[in-house]
Structure 1
């Protein structure tokens, strides 16, 4: 397909990198006055232009709260409806509305103001920009997902800087990315980026909140996020303006490295360091010595065997519509490397949720423990060939029995191995 050819051509030229930059609210909006930090925004634009002049392709995932006015009576804490306070200022509203439709209307007004600011800043250097507003639903359909990838690739090949945000004017809670860290990771995975930069208000990830704990130590390199979660505290990190903090950045990093994207956490007020970090990363991946030419940052190492595009899309691009519980025999057949079997009806013991064929479901092992207790462990995710009602009818049955039970057979398995993503390598 077109997007794969474009990606392969790009990757053949390793001097040209694809870089996704996500800028946090606290980096571009004053926490007290809520005015935009124009110096930081200008520095960001200059950094993007410098990367472009070096031959790199750049996507900007922008924060929501830029351009907020001096409105001390308006709380913007966790107000992640994009451009919301910008719209409030434009409409001379004293406080944000409580109705969802009204919030979305304000966001629609603020969106134009947000893009006008970016267009003006980039326009000073004759750099074209493009706006992309996405929802999770846009990526749930495979053809729409590929169309979005093709559009991004075409914009990058044209020399345009795509500016991406979530389309909160139509999104609802159930189909939201939730925060721009996750959205940025999705963007990075979609286009097989080389780097994802999560620009925040600290230089790197610390073992604890450096604002309150002077003994907090910087984390410079992470090869295992599971182990890292046991060693660091991220619960209290992040400014009052941000929607996520470090907890969401760990989630985003986990998502991105699964797609083979090296992920960096660094200071959003020092965007001039981005090029230095990339250069230092090329020279030495594990140096502990930080200098002016090797700025402090946290690097999450990309996985050597990233998920294939289709399986990455299944795991991260699709809403999980329900759960299928399987026995230990089915789990072993799925997880054993030499087998990697499809999921058959005989190994299914329970179905939760209502879903139709070709929707994504979680696959959960219901493991029997001593004393008659059970432990549920999520082991995968996949696209089903039958509806939840049909699977409930054929569970524990052989494939040869399906025509007699349903009156027809679409497939001899419930989830084919090509549509199944294993989320653990542990053999149960």
Structure 2
């Protein structure tokens, strides 16, 4: 049915793992009444404590601040106005963290509230500081409860959903696993509630191939912000830095232990290397339904992963075909020079991140497709690039009166998005 026919070798040892668990709103609160689902939460707390007793480090990325606020304010429907949602989140976040503290407190387990925004990670120093803070919390034996700071975060720099935030968190900590707990057992080729022929996907080695063969158009619940499509994005982000990602049912947290144990002893992915392991095969082997996304073979290093996923995209530079081929060439892996730039979009300053875009045109010169080639940190502002675009590097000094760098984006600050095999 799908994917590369190979056995992924990036299976972590179970001796001491870093595990990020993302808990969705529908796992924490009833969709209609907004009351907390204490049985689910109690099972989750017991799971975290069991994992910690085995020497593992556990981070919770928790949704439900808005749902908790709705319950406190006796509001039935989630509003659409951003400022209202932020106010409701401010009410709910404190009550949500108190709920966790009460449950973990029964076992004398300290927790820490960590509220992040994308802006917090846009500066390299802030990003590293956030990593150090999370690492120190874990070293103290504390369980971090991570959420997006919805109260103050403007719409344009939000992570957008906690699936993405959990993937960013897992990448920051170089986690071994990211578990995305949701209201279904696994990923299906279509919505199983409306399509009885939908098939479950148990193992995925190639997310791009998967996206071409499954339908994930439906969004999440009326309370949540994401659906299955956001979980594919999260899996793509996390597996890019070596984090094995699992989608499984939030009401069955005990399944996480079975999945980790099966992965550790090598029975999670069958030795005959099926392109796809079916759900029936998993059940026959006594394993719970889930979808495992294996770590990618060509991993992004920390700095380039931060550039691609941590930095806010401040603008765009449009390049010609020659520049695109030079950037994507396996031999060259070229920097971006002024000579290859044809246009600049939006205002930005030096050291901000921009998207590198190629416009494919027809024979009449009309743009038929825009392709995101890469993303990188610029050495010059948009105004300066507008003046030097199309020029050779040795002409920069004559045009600007100074030359801070020969390149507009150095190859060490450039991460490719498009693969050269696609061109």
Map Cα deviations across residues 23-60 of structure 1 (whole Å, 9 max, x no partner).
11112222232211100000000111111111111100
For residues 290 and 417 of structure 1, the distance between their equivalents in structure 2, rounded to whole angstroms, comes to: 44
User: In the TM superposition, what are the counterparts of 1:26-425 in structure 2 within 5 Å?
Assistant: 26-64=26-64, 83-91=65-73, 100-236=82-218, 238-282=220-264, 283-287=266-270, 288=277, 289-291=281-283, 293-374=286-367, 375-425=369-419
Deviation of residue 311 (structure 1)?
A: 0.4
- Residue 106 (structure 1) shift: 3.3
Report Cα offsets for 1:324-378 as digits up to 9, x if no partner.
Answer: 1111111121111121111100111111111000010011123344443443211
Contact 2:35 2:71 survives alignment (8 Å) = no
How far apart, CA to CA, are the structure 2 residues paired with 1:304 and 1:33?
Answer: 45
Give secondary structure in 2 for the equivalent of 1:290: helix
1:187 aligned counterpart, secondary structure: helix
Contact kept, 8 Å, 1:209 with 1:237, in 2: the verdict is: no
Tell me the TM-score normalised to structure 1 length. 0.89
Task: Report the aligned-residue RMSD.
Answer: 2.0
Assess if the C-alpha contact under 8 Å between 1:327 and 1:367 holds in 2: no
- Deviation for aligned residue 1:241: 2.6
Rate the CA distance shift 1:372–1:39 in 2: closer, same or farther, 3 A. Answer: same
User: Against the structure 1 CA distance between its residues 153 and 12, is the aligned structure 2 distance closer, same or farther, given a 3 Å change threshold?
Assistant: farther
**Which residue of structure 2 aligns with residue 75 of structure 1?**
none
Alpha carbons of structure 1 residues 213 and 363: separation in structure 2 relative to 1, 3 Å: same
Deviation at 1:100, TM superposition (A): 4.4
Deviation string, structure 1 residues 377-400 (Cα, Å, up to 9, x no partner): 111000000000100100011111
Q: Could you report, residue by residue, the CA deviation over 1:253-306 in whole angstroms, capped at 9, with x for unpaired residues?
A: 111111111100000000001011011123134234224742110001111221
Q: Does the 8 A contact of 2:34 with 2:68 survive in 1? A: no
* Shift in Å, 1:423: 0.9
Helix, strand or coil at the partner of 2:130: helix
Indicate how the Cα distance of structure 1 residues 33 and 140 shifts in structure 2: closer, same or farther if over 3 A, else same.
Answer: same
5+ long unaligned stretches in structure 1: 1-10, 65-82
In 1: Cα distance, 2:363 partner to 2:97 partner: 60
Shift of 1:320: 0.8
* Counterpart position of 1:19: 19
Contact 2:29 2:67 in 1 (8 A): no
CA contact (8 A) 2:58 2:143 kept: yes
The answer to whether the Cα contact below 8 Å between 2:33 and 2:71 also exists between their aligned partners in 1 is no
TM-score where L is the length of structure 2: 0.90
| Change over 3 Å in CA distance of 1:23–1:95 after alignment to 2 | closer
Find the aligned partners of 1:424 and 1:237 in 2 and give their Cα distance: 27
> In structure 2, do the counterparts of structure 1 residues 207 and 237 end up closer, same or farther at CA, with 3 Å as the change threshold?
farther
> Could you tell me which residue of structure 1 aligns to residue 7 of structure 2?
none
Moved more, 253-262 or 292-301: 292-301
